[in-house]
Structure 1
Amino acid sequence: MKYVEAPSEDLGLGTSVFLAGGISNCPDWQKEFVDKIRDTELVVYNPRRANFPMGDKEEGLRQIKWEAEYLHKASCIIFWFPKETVCPIVLFELGSWSMTDKPIFVGVHPDYSRRFDVETQLEIRRPDVTVVYSLDDLADRLREWDHMAQTVSPPLTEHEPHPHLAEIRRSLKKWQESPARLLYVRDESFKVIEVSIVALQQLIDLLKDAEQGIIRTTPRNLYSIVERIKGIRQMFKKDTGY
């Protein structure tokens, strides 16, 4: 593991994770989390400084810019909401990044005051994301994803099909059979789910290439696509019965 603490710089090489979550008025959960993934090869971006000059506006601006840069640079983001504080900035960051395709992993303390809001908003915006309730489980989700990132993709041949294609085919078939696949009713209003359209197009393009023996994606991206489709299918089943 490579550890990068704000405001240190990093070239952004290798698979990286940004630790988003409470900093002020809460325990140093970042240190505990880092210890849980220390044996990985991840590059860890930690915005929590050992010594931060409170009241220094220039350093405050530097911190904000650093966080914005490394949230964008990170391969994935983990979010942790402790029980001690509402974490308004972290809620803002979660809302922003949940509207993108970047892999995110979310954990909330069981006693976090806005737990219901986090769960509900993610169910709507990112049904592929499973909320967990401990740092151990959050670390496990990250490890699982990182393992997929390190997996070497086997060649696609007639006798050795890509291991994810069967799952992708089933997901796509189930999706295409659903009359609610692009537009559905929720809370008495019609909403187009942008992420569903993107994921569906990714699957269509992927299958077209795969039929010709071409793999244009990584195992990590395949895993993310399949997990997203699974989540959307579960949401549609819950809301429409299909």
Structure 2
Amino acid sequence: MDLKTMFPNLTVMWTRWSDYHVISQYGMHFLVPTPDATSLTYDCTQQPGSLVADALDLGRQLAANTQEADSLCASFAAHYGLLGLDYTGDTYGAAQGYELPASMCPLNSQKYGDDLGQFQMTFIELYQHFCTVRGEEYPAAGSKFLDLSGVLNYRLTCGQTPQLIWQTETLKEVLYLFYAALITDGKPTLKVCKNCGKVYYNPHAKSEFCGTKCRNYYNVKAFREKQLGHEESSFSSI
């Protein structure tokens, strides 16, 4: 599915920082840019397949209760930016000189941060939804916690040739939109590596591995298991 054809004029400029870390603030944990991090603003709609696949694989690793959860989240944020979860802003509090929680600081600023628990749960729930699509997990009867929804705003320009401009405000909205488009496509492009289990994006129908290394490792392993089976069969027939 060509998402740019489906959503023409969809451009979302988003800021990512070169490095992130976890801080404790008001009894909560936030993922924020490090003090010496540098910023880069980019169009986060340019590589939808990579964004969704990396998000799903992060969810897979977080669901496994990995001890490297914080560093994995920081690495994703350094590559794509924070999600912009439940951003409200508080210009009044800032004007009064109050020290605000990271989630209430200006979006995409060096002081802004996502709540770490919500950040991680967003990816875990996205991966759980992916598992239900693949038939690997089934939600409880009547459960709606795996349902994903969002609102896509638009603006219609005026003049003799009006244009429909799609508008999203956060990376989370972009992620959910692209995931919804890819997962409902008739030609599956979100794959699970046959060897390591990593979620990856590949538009080729016959793709089964996330890379050459996994393909070679799997083929060598399969060959050795086949050879071992022949040897055991020959030994038992003696």
Q: TM-score, normalised by structure 2?
A: 0.26
Greater relative contact order (Cα < 8 A, sep 6+): 2
Q: Where is the helix percentage greater, Structure 1 or Structure 2?
A: 1
Please identify the structure whose Cα radius of gyration is greater: 2
Q: TM-score, normalised by structure 1?
A: 0.26
